Structure 1
Amino acid sequence: MGGVIVIGVAGGKDLYVADLDAGTIKPITPPTTGALQTVVDLRSAGASVIKGVDVAISVTSAEDAAHGRFDG
């Protein structure tokens, strides 16, 4: 299992790296080259890029998630 996930929220431009083992989430400096830049370009064009994650749900708050209330 991978313990690190790159996250971007729909409608936002920022990317974050979540280290699940360390329990941290930090912003990533926007890439200028490489595969992650390709992901940024695709995302800017409206695409969703998913690899190695089988569940991702947007919620309004942690409390909503804990109670099974999901957006949409």
Structure 2
Amino acid sequence: MSKVVVIGLPGEQGLWVADLGNGTVSALQEPFTGTLGSADSLRGSGAAIVKGVDLALAFGSMEEIAQSHHEN
């Protein structure tokens, strides 16, 4: 089972890596090469790339999650 997730948000530059095993999130250093570079280029064109994740939701704050506003 994967324990690391790469995250990119629409309108935000750069990518982040969430290490679920260590409970950390940090910025990935550019330039991105290989498959990750290709995926980032597609993302820049508006594509959404999903692999190995069965649920992903974006929120503006932790408060929104606590209030269960994800149903909107």
If the length of structure 1 is used for normalisation, what is the TM-score?
Answer: 0.88
What corresponds to 1:39 in structure 2? 39
CA deviation profile, 1:2-56 (whole Å, cap 9, x unmatched): 1100000111121000001111000001234210000011011110110011111
Say which structure is richer in helix. 2
What corresponds to 2:29 in structure 1? 29
Query: Would you say 1:59 and 2:67 are equivalent positions?
Result: no
In 2: Cα distance, 1:32 partner to 1:64 partner: 32
In 2: Cα distance, 1:13 partner to 1:38 partner: 15
CA contact (8 A) 2:17 2:27 kept: yes
If the length of structure 2 is used for normalisation, what is the TM-score?
Answer: 0.88
What percent of counterpart residues are identical?
A: 40
CA contact (8 A) 1:60 1:70 kept: no
Unaligned runs of 5+ in 2: none
CA contact (8 A) 2:15 2:27 kept: yes
